[in-house]
Amino acid sequence: MKQRRSDNPKSTGATRSGKGNVVPERFLVSKGTLRFDRFMTQAIQVGGLVVVLAVFGIFAFILSVIWPLFGGAEAAEGDTMFELEASEGAILGLDDWGELPFVTDGGRELVFHPVDGREPFLREAPLPDGAEVSSLRHDPGAQRIVAGFEDGRAGFFEVRYTMEFEEGRDRRVEVELGGEEWFEVAGGPVHAAAYADGGSNKLLAAVHDGGESGARSGLAVVGFHQQRGLLGGGRIEAMPKEELGHLVGGPIAEILIPATADMIFVATDQCELVFLAQDRGEWTVRQRMRMFDNPETRLKTLGFALGDNSIVAGGSGGEVRVFSLFPPEPGEPRTLGLTKEFPGLSDAPVLFAASRRNKTVFIASENELLIGYTTTETVRWRGSVEPGLAALALNGRGSSAAFLDTAGRMRFFEINDPHPEAGMRAFFSPIWYEGFSGPRFSWQSGGATDDFESKLSITPLIVGSLKGTAYAMLFAMPIAILAAIFTAHVLHPSWKRVIKPTMEIMASLPSVVLGFLAAIWLAPLVEYRMPGVFLMMVGIPIVVVVIGYAWSWLPVHLRSRLPTGLELVLLLPVVLGVGWLCWRLGPVVEQWLFVVEMPDGEKVADFTVWWPQWTGLPFSQRNSFVVGFMMGFAVIPIIFTITEDALSNVPPSLLAASRALGATRWQVISTVVLPVASAGVFSAVMIGLGRAVGETMIVVMATGNTAIMDPSNNLIFGSPFGLGSGEFPLAAQWNPFDGMRTLAANIAVELPEAAQGSTHYRTLFLGAFVLFVMTFALNTVAEVLRQRLREKFKLV
C-alpha cells in the first residue's frame, strides 16, 4: 500500500517561507539568536551615535573654553560716587583693591574716601615744615608721591596700604604715610620731579628754571647708591648733584625715569623726546627724536606701560603712539623706536594711566575713553564718558578705574577684561614685542617678573608640528612602503612570517624610550658626523639601484640558481659595507668640502660651523633632522603593517594573469599590485601621518622643545646664500638643523602648570583646537582621495 507524503510542514519539522517554500528546520534561526542579533544591531547603532556625540561634545567643550579669548573688554560706570571739593591739578590715587581712593590738591593733606561706607578721613602728608609744594606726581606702581618745593627741595613719601582682618568684621583697607626722603636739588622752584628705586641704584631728577634756555630748562639729577647684603639694604650714599639741562637744550615738558634708575626720558615742549643714559659714569644723549610727524602737534600725556620699557605718548591732535626700547642691531645699546600706534581719539588726550598687572593702558580725552593693550596694538574698549575729566587712577588689578571731574565728583568704572593679551592678532600675526628689533612670531607664555610681556603666537607651534611631521614622513614613507612591497611580493614566505611580526612589535616601543635614545645617543652621535650621514643617505640608495639594475642583466640561468626572495641575503652585506664606508669617509669629505674661515683667519673643517656661515641658518645638536629620523622610526611599523596587508590582499588571479602575459615581477608590482592596493597604501600613509602629528615625547626630548620661527636672528656670520636673512623666510623655517616645538608637545609640557581659566590655559586649549581642526581637515581630504582611488581601481 502506497504511503502518501504529507504536505503539512509541522509533520516534517519544517516551515514555510514568505514565498510559500518549505524551509527545513535545520536551516531556521532560533528566536534567541534573532533577538540577540537585533540587540547587537541596535547597540552598534547607539554606540556609533555615542561616539559621534562624544566627538562633537569634545569639540563643543574646547570651543567653550577658547571662546572668551576673542572677546573685548566691558566697561560700565558703577553706582559709587563722591562729591568732593578738589581744585584744578588734583591728584587721584587708588589702592590695589580699589576700595580706598585718595585725593590731594597739592596741599599737605590726603583725603581718603572708603567705598565700604566709612566716613572720609584725612592723613597729613609728611612734608618738610614750612615748605610750599610746587609740583606733585603720583607713582601708582610704587604707591609713591614725588613732590617738589618752591625752595628747591624735592623728594618723596610712600602711601602704604594694608589689608586688615578682624574677628566678626569684614576685611578693611587701612593706610599710613611714611618713608619720606627730601633732598636739596635746585636753587629755585621745582616744576616737576621724578624718582625711581632700582635696588642698589636710585635716581632723583627735578626740573627747575636754572637752565641755559630759560624757564623749565634746568634738569638737576641726584643719584644714590645703597649696599645690599643678605640681611637687607645698608646705608644710602648720595652722589654729587649733576646738572643736565644743557643736554636737553630747551624747556622741559615732562620727565620719566624707569624702575632701573639708570636712564632718563625728557620730553621738551617742542614734542622732542631726549633719551639720556649713563656711559661709564657720565650722562650722555643716547637718542633724540620727534614723537609726532606734525610739527604743530603738542605733547599732552606721557607715561610708561607696565615694565617701563614702552612709553605711551598722546598728542594734541588725538594721536596715541607707543615707543619701545630695543637694540637696533644685536649687541648695540637699546634705543627708542615707534612700535605701535592706536587709532586716534576725537580730541586731545588729557589723562593717562597704566595697569599694574599687564600692558593695558587707559587714555582719556575730555569726553572719550580708550582702553588699549600695547603688546598687540588692539583697542580693548572705546566709549564716551561725561566731559570734564580731571584725574584718573586704576586699582592694582586693572578691574576698577576712578575718575575725578572738574565738578569735584569722583566716579568709578568697573572694567571686565580677563584676557587682554589674547585675540586673533596675538595668536596668528607677527607682533613687535618689547626688546625685539622688529615684528615676529613668538611663543613664551611665562617669565620671571610680573611685568613680563606674554608672547602667545601659536604660529611657531603650527609650523613646528608641520615641520616635524614632514621630516618624519619624508624618512618613513619610502622605507615603509618599499619594505612592504618587498615583503609582500618578493621576500620568501618563510622570511615574511618572521619580519612582519617583528615590525608589528616595533610599533609598541614607547615614545619616551625613542625620545631618550634620540636625545642621549643619536643627537650627539651625528652632530659631528653629518657629512658621513649625508653620504649614507645618497650612497646606499645609489648602490642598491645599481646592484638591482646589474642583477636584471644577468643571464636567467644564473639568476634562477638563487631562490626567489632570497636576494636580500646577497644585498644586505653590500648595504652594510657601503654604509660603513660612507661613515668612515665622512670626515674626509668634511675636510674637503666644508671648510670655513673663522674671524681670526684660521680655516676650520667643521660642518656645524659651515652650515650657519653658508646658509645663514643656525645649527643645533637637537634638531629636526634627529626628530625626523627617530619619529620616522616610530611611524615605519604602522605604515609598513597596513601597506603590507593591502598589498597581500590583491587577488592572486590578477597576479597570475599578469605573469601569464609575460610581465616581469616589477611590472606586476607597478602596474597591477600598487594601483589595486593604492587605497590601502594611502590609508596607511594617513594613519602614519596622524601618528606623527600627535607625537609628543620624542619631540619634547629630542628637539630642545623651543618654539623657533626666526632662526636668522641667531646668526654669527653673514650668509652668502641669504637663506636666513629674510630673503627666503620659507627656507629658514624648514631648516632641518634647528629645534622646534609642536602643538602636542606644548600642551603636554605647559598644561599642568597653567592656572585653570587663565589666558595661558585657554590658549593651550586653542592649540588643541587647531590640532583638532588640522587632523580633521587632513582626514577628510584623505578619505575623499581614498574613495576616489577605490572607485578608480575597484575590481568589477
pLDDT of residue 266: 96
Residue with cell 611599523: 637
Q: How far is it, in rounded angstroms, from Cα 458 to Cα 764?
A: 9
Are 97 and 80 a contacting pair, CB within 8 Å?
Answer: no
- Tell me the domain boundaries of the chain: 462-520+619-792, 529-590
Are 174 and 95 a contacting pair, CB within 8 Å?
Answer: no
Q: How confident is the model at residue 450 (pLDDT cuts 50, 70, 90)?
A: low
220-231: pLDDT as tens digits: 999 988 876 666
- Cα within 13 Å of Cα(18), Cβ side: 0
Q: Which of 133, 130, 142, 77 is nearest to 104 (CA)?
A: 133
Are 153 and 181 a contacting pair, CB within 8 Å?
Answer: no
The percent of residues in the chain predicted with pLDDT above 70, rounded, is: 90
Cα 97 versus chain centre, distance:
31
Q: How far is it, in rounded angstroms, from Cα 369 to Cα 380?
A: 11
Q: How far is it, in rounded angstroms, from Cα 257 to Cα 548?
A: 76
330-351: pLDDT as tens digits: 888 999 999 999 998 888 999 9
pLDDT of residue 101: 92
The pLDDT of residue 11 is above 70: no
pTM for the structure as a whole: 0.85
Q: How far is it, in rounded angstroms, from Cα 313 to Cα 572?
A: 73
Residue with cell 646738572: 243
Show the cell assigned to 688.
602614519
pLDDT of residue 722: 43
**Class assignment of domain 462-520+619-792?**
mainly alpha
The pLDDT of residue 15 is above 90: no
Average pLDDT over residues 728-745: 78
Are 341 and 319 a contacting pair, CB within 8 Å?
Answer: yes
Widest Cα–Cα separation across the chain: 151
Show the cell assigned to 681.
597604501
CB burial class (10 A; 0-12, 13-18, 19+) of residue 166? exposed
476-517: pLDDT as tens digits: 999 999 999 988 888 878 788 888 888 888 888 888 888 888
